[in-house]
Amino acid sequence: MEVIIQPNYDQMSKIAAQIVVEVLNAKPNAVLGMATGSTPLGLYKELVRLHQKDQLDFSRVTTFNLDEYVGLPVNHPQSYHYFMHEHFFKHVNIPPQNINIPSGTTSNYPAFCEWYEQRIAQCGGIDLQILGIGSDGHIAFNEPTSSMSSRTRLKTLSKQTIDDNARFFERREDVPVYAITMGVGTILDARKLILIGSGKAKARAIAQAVEGPVTSMVTASAIQLHRDAVVIVDREAAAELTMRDYYEFIYAAKPSAPRS
């Protein structure tokens, strides 16, 4: 695992965007796994800027979002469909038919989840999965005790996640209790992972994910099992990492590291 500590949120977002650019340069028809929430906003803003300024091309890209709230229609302002269109899709040139987001309103959740997994496989698997992290250590909506081999399915949100996400809704009671989410196993199948974290509210979860035991109590710790995972954090989110100096040393020495 590579851990990159940046001075602030903007720098964190730029480094994450650079990794997306590298993946697209190597494979213009890459399959990208997308995350929502406040953390990736800066990353999406930077990708939109690169699309508009440098013609970063998404015309052959396919995307799969991690999750969606159950019960919210696609035009609900707090749905992840709406979020993705507002903050990213409507500003870049991904063909609409290449965009995949779990349905929060399907009539048959198990069948939809199975279809979503098949669709990822049909598209050749996810090349780069973008991840945020919940303050309870979740990735996607894989709440504590989610199996490390879980696949796309329905999950009940934890009290912590409902509290955290209440800031986006008028009332706490409006936060959906259920979500459809890719599983930890689905995420681990991606060829590359980037996990971004910002602010002191994430410091504990980041330390547990990076340096703690691999445990389904902190599903983000599953990234330790992945052979190409990059964690990008700002200083505040890095505050509880005990090996901070070492990560900074590795990153600073990276340009002169032997490549072959």
Nearer to ligand F6R, 126 or 133 (CB): 133
Q: Determine whether 54 is an active site residue.
A: no
Return the residue of 1, 18, 27, 37 that touches ligand F6R, per CB under 6 A.
37
Side chain identity at residue 230, one-letter code: V
67 is catalytic: yes
CB of 54 to ligand F6R, least distance (A): 26
Smallest distance from ligand F6R to CB 70, Å:
14
From 166, 243, 23, 118, select the one nearest 34 (Cα to Cα). Answer: 23
- Catalytic option among 117, 136, 164, 189: 136
| Cα–Cα distance measured from residue 77 to residue 96, given in angstroms and rounded to the nearest whole number | 19
Within 47-106, the residues that bind ligand F6R by CB under 6 A are 66-67
Asked whether position 139 contacts ligand F6R by CB under 6 A, the answer is: yes
Whole-angstrom distance, CA of residue 149 vs CA of residue 185: 4
Q: Strands 67-69, 31-34: parallel, antiparallel or unpaired by DSSP?
A: unpaired
Token digits of residue 56: 């970063």
For tokens 């038919």, name the residue: 97
Residues 187-226 that bind ligand F6R (CB under 6 A): none
Single out the segment in contact with ligand F6R by CB under 6 A; choices: 4-12, 13-21, 129-137, 226-234: 129-137
Residue 240: which of 217, 216, 211 has the closest Cα?
211
Q: What is the binding site for ligand F6R (CB under 6 A)?
A: 35-39, 66-67, 132-134, 138-140
